[in-house]
Structure 1
Amino acid sequence: MPEDLLLLLFQPSSGTIAGENTLFYVLAGAVLADLALGDHLTTADRGRVKTVEGRAPSDDILRSAWDYLSERPRGVQTVLAAIGPPLRKPVLERLVERGDIDRGDRKVLGLFRTTTLKEGGNGRRAGLLGEVRQVLVEGAEPRPRVAALAALLSASGTLPLFHREIPWKSSVITRAKELERGNWGAGAAGEAVTRTVTATVVNSAIMAAAVLPRS
């Protein structure tokens, strides 16, 4: 999920990533949501989260967060601040390696070289955006993974930037806020823990990011 979220936040028209100033919070939120979706993580008392014993993930990025949480239950905001800052680089590397984003370089003022990013040719970003659009605009009942992804995208505060594909209107805002709160529809009835963890993560990410200026 961190890769999918970063890919959605990538803006092909400018070659930049939206919400850079608060990016580490939402990427960390995606890691925790992914752990919850895989039954690696659950809730504890006092709004904390904890690992599920014996359910360590195989993915390196997820495993690092799982190991940190396995020491003891922790508050979500504490976890976001601890695991988020180093995530951008390895997540972006994964996107480049699998061709979702192409990386190159160019000269600035004919002297200095700078790294450039552009959308890869595999269509993955368009597919993800289409799934999110179906949920937010067309009212489709989401799969848990798409619901969590849409909730985190909303929490990032960047949804207005997607107005061409996802019109920024009251019905979209209302639906996004429902997903943030864990209201995913009848089809997610068996995903109670995942919805609870994701809602906790999203709300904590919003509160944590609120104190930072948005890019």
Structure 2
Amino acid sequence: MTQQPERPLVGGEAETPGATGRLGAPTLAEDLLLLLFQPNSGLRSGTGTIAGENTLFYTLAGAVLADLGLGEHVRTDSGRAGTTRVRAVEDNPPSDDILRLTWDYVSEKPRGVQTVLAAIGPTLRGPLLDRLVERGDIRRASRKTLGLFDTKVLQDGGNGRRSRLLEDVRDVLVEGAEPRPRVAALAALLSGSGTLPQFHREIPWTTPVITRAKELERGSWGAGAAAEAVARTVTATIVSNVGNVVIAATVPPGN
């Protein structure tokens, strides 16, 4: 059962770092949210929605933890009853504000992956989306509904970054290219989130693609990833937990 925190880790306007101001390199969670944005899936042409909204906070939180794993800011170990815990690597905090909040949270004491997902996930969507808008990856716009009411919509920013990310993931899953660690983590998170079938137009939902995606979820990233063995193992462990939580959240009780 997924553990729920007493309150979200991030909350309120004063605690949404990274929404405005100077931005560094995109985080893995930003890249994942940009990929999950489906540019032409809205009710009107040219508007989009975000895939997997029902379990989005688990997926984005998993991306934050995976990013910390790739940067060797956290590691994992075993807790009670075989659960997986996340532990901060001392003296190696991340510079990104959103990643730092999570690092600070797990630096207090080792915490179960599911506890961390539930604590950091609920309020990630807003600040991450703000960052994508600020970068020009996504645009916010207004459309008239019934000719009377203004409706807020999301549109592709037109800078091509989403297309490039999607092409990288497609090369790995369809063409069999050996992935860079971040691309491997993105593909694994898409697979673990259960949203990969929604990319069928660009990434055919075939048996080889499914097989490769599951390999990436398990941390099989290819020989070139040997130097990132620790980060790969941590990320694979986190992604596996994300997948389990998403499945549990989407299966009706009693099934």
Q: Same fold per TM (> 0.5)?
A: yes
Ranked by relative contact order (alpha carbons within 8 Å, sequence separation 6 or more), the top structure is 1
Q: Which residue of 1 aligns with 2:65?
A: 32
State the AA in 2 paired with 1:34.
D
Q: Is 2:218 the partner of 1:181?
A: yes
Q: 1:21 aligns with which of 36, 47, 54?
A: 54
Q: 1:30 Cα shift?
A: 0.4
Q: Which residue of 1 aligns with 2:168?
A: 131
Q: Which residue of 1 aligns with 2:37?
A: 10
When normalised by structure 2's length, the TM-score is 0.82
Misfit runs of 4+, over 4 Å: none
Q: 1:111 Cα shift?
A: 2.5
CA contact (8 A) 1:6 1:27 kept: yes
Q: Is 2:196 the partner of 1:159?
A: yes
Larger Rg: 2
Q: 1:53 aligns with which of 90, 95, 100?
A: 90
The 5-angstrom pairing of residues 1-215 of structure 1 reads: 1-14=28-41, 15-46=48-79, 47-213=84-250
Q: 1:16 Cα shift?
A: 0.1
CA contact (8 A) 1:151 1:179 kept: yes
Q: Distance in 2 between matches of 1:194 and 1:78?
A: 20
State the AA in 2 paired with 1:110.
G
State the AA in 2 paired with 1:107.
K
Extract unaligned runs of 5+ from structure 2. Answer: 1-27, 42-47
Q: Distance in 1 between matches of 2:85 and 2:249?
A: 23
Q: Distance in 2 between matches of 1:5 and 1:91?
A: 10
Other structure's SS at 1:24 match: helix
State the AA in 1 paired with 2:231.
T
CA RMSD across the alignment = 1.1
Q: Distance in 1 between matches of 2:126 and 2:89?
A: 27
When normalised by structure 1's length, the TM-score is 0.97
Q: Distance in 1 between matches of 2:247 and 2:169?
A: 24
CA contact (8 A) 1:43 1:193 kept: no
> Identity percentage over the alignment?
72
Q: Distance in 1 between matches of 2:103 and 2:131?
A: 19
